[in-house]
Amino acid sequence: MSHSPDPDEDDLSTIPAPRPVFHAEQALLGALLFDPRLLGDVTGISADSWSTAPHAALFAAISTLPPPDPDEHRKTTAWLNQVLAAARKEARGLSASYLHTLIQVCPWPRHAAAYARMVEAEHARRRLQAAADLLVQTVRDPSLPDPVQTVLARADALAAVVDDIATRFPPRSGVLPRTPSAPPATVPDHAEAAEEEQLLLATATAHPADIESVRWLLAEDFTQPLHAGLWQCLTALARRHEPVDPVTVLWEAQQRGLLLQDGSEPGDVLRLLAEPVGSVGHWGQRVLTRSLLATTDQTGRRIKAYTGDPANTPFQLVAGARRVLADIGAIRTRWQHATRPPLTQPARAARAGPAGRRAPAVSPPARPVAAGRTH
292-316 residue pLDDT tens: 999 999 999 999 999 999 999 999 9
DSSP E strands: which ranges in the chain? none
In the prediction, which pLDDT does 261 show? 80
Residue 316 lies in a domain: no
Residue 279 lies in a domain: no
Residue 42 lies in a domain: yes
- Whichever domain contains 76, its CATH number is 1.10.860
Q: Is the pLDDT of residue 75 over 80?
A: yes
Domain residues for the domain of 32 are 18-107
Residue 274 lies in a domain: no
346 vs 177: which has the higher pLDDT: 177
H or E stretch including 221? none
Residue 44 lies in a domain: yes
Rg of the chain on CA atoms, in Å = 33
What does each C-alpha distance from 112 to 4, 46, 60, 73 come to in angstroms? 46, 15, 16, 18
Give the pTM: 0.80
Distance (Å, rounded) from C-alpha 111 to C-alpha 220? 51
Q: How far apart are the first and last CA of the chain?
A: 116
Number of domains observed in the structure of the chain: 1
| Whole-number average pLDDT of the chain | 86
Distance (Å, rounded) from C-alpha 112 to C-alpha 41? 7
- Range 263-276 average pLDDT: 91
Distance (Å, rounded) from C-alpha 315 to C-alpha 310? 12
Sequence letter at residue 318 = V
Of the ranges 23-27, 167-171, 214-218, 303-307, which one carries the lowest mean pLDDT score?
A: 167-171
Residue 371 lies in a domain: no
Q: How confident is the model at residue 352 (pLDDT cuts 50, 70, 90)?
A: very low
Distance (Å, rounded) from C-alpha 199 to C-alpha 285? 12
Residue 178 lies in a domain: no
In the prediction, which pLDDT does 280 show? 96
Residue 31 lies in a domain: yes
What does each C-alpha distance from 69 to 36, 73, 80, 100, 358 come to in angstroms? 9, 6, 12, 19, 79
Q: Over the stretch 310-339, which tens digit does the pLDDT of each residue have?
A: 999 999 999 999 999 999 999 999 999 999
Q: How confident is the model at residue 170 (pLDDT cuts 50, 70, 90)?
A: confident
